[in-house]
Structure 1
Amino acid sequence: MAARWSSPVRYVECDQQGVVFNAHYLTWADETSNHWWAAIGLPWEDLVARGLDPLVKASSLEWTSSARWGDTVTVDAGTEQLGRTSVTVRYTVRVGERVCCVVRNTYVCVADGVATPWPDDVRARLSEG
């Protein structure tokens, strides 16, 4: 785990049964991603200043149980797979020790609108993350 983010489940994130609506798991992964990039020494503003734009190419979600209104979710993030131009980050959403969902986002390094290999120093940090 390279980064962690946590939040109480808000009423607005739930359906009429008090269960978290599926799209919010992606929002939580996105919230955690900012912490993850910074935790591995690649704050977003530094990447952008270098002309790099990691874009989400694909997302997948696997549910094992529901988060509900009143719960507090914790999301752990870490590098799962590193490619030449991409990185897949695994976001594990938990309530306590119970895993609710695993989100995988694959980011592609883009420079000047074209997929490009990660620079060596960025690749080194991604592999540690």
Structure 2
Amino acid sequence: MHLTYTNRVRFAETDKQGIVFYGNYVTYQDEAVNGYLREVYPYDSFEGWDIHVVNVDLSYRTTASFEDELENRVGVAEIGESSITFEYECSRDGQVVAEGTVTHVAVDEEGRPTRVPDDFRAAVDAFESDGE
């Protein structure tokens, strides 16, 4: 997986217990995917198709608190006919805080599922095989 997003936990992201509210990890995951796409296949490359989130799966391993610096890594786990599944890991000082996947479906301009384009597949293959 590639490091795509580093963040310092803001006070507003914590709950009354002083730890990161679990829902914020979905935002961190989304930022990591956006960072990955910026490197591999920027959004302005999407012509005639887009991606929509259809599933998020996160497992929480430990807590993070205000001012913790988090490293968010992401990679493509699988590209199906019309789906793209990203694997995600959030860590602090080398310890996994949360991990999981997010699956997107490729859609055409009318919002109907469509095949993931070959140029996207090629860009991901090149990036993932580069050993970044």
| In structure 2, distance between residues paired with 1:3 and 1:114 | 32
Cα drift, residue 69 of structure 1: 1.1
Mapping for residues 45-56 of structure 1, pairs under 5 Å:
45-47=44-46, 50-56=47-53
Cα drift, residue 90 of structure 1: 1.0
Mapping for residues 22-37 of structure 1, pairs under 5 Å:
22-37=22-37
Give the TM-score of the pair, scaled to structure 2: 0.89
Cα drift, residue 125 of structure 1: 2.0
Aligned to 2:4: 4
Aligned to 1:21: 21
Deviation string, structure 1 residues 40-97 (Cα, Å, up to 9, x no partner) = 2x101221xx111111011011111111112111100101111111111011000110
1:87 to 2:84 alignment: yes
| In structure 2, distance between residues paired with 1:125 and 1:18 | 41
Identity of aligned residues (%): 29
Aligned to 1:65: 62
Q: CA RMSD in A?
A: 1.3
Q: Unaligned 5+ residue runs, structure 1?
A: none
The answer to whether the 8 A contact 2:3-2:71 is kept is: no
Residue 115 of structure 1: SS of its match in structure 2?
coil
Residues 70, 2 of structure 1: alpha-carbon distance in 2 compared, 3 angstrom cutoff: closer
The answer to whether the 8 A contact 1:26-1:103 is kept is: no
Residue 69 of structure 1: SS of its match in structure 2?
coil
Mapping for residues 92-103 of structure 1, pairs under 5 Å:
92-103=89-100
The answer to whether the 8 A contact 2:76-2:85 is kept is: yes
Q: Unaligned 5+ residue runs, structure 2?
A: none
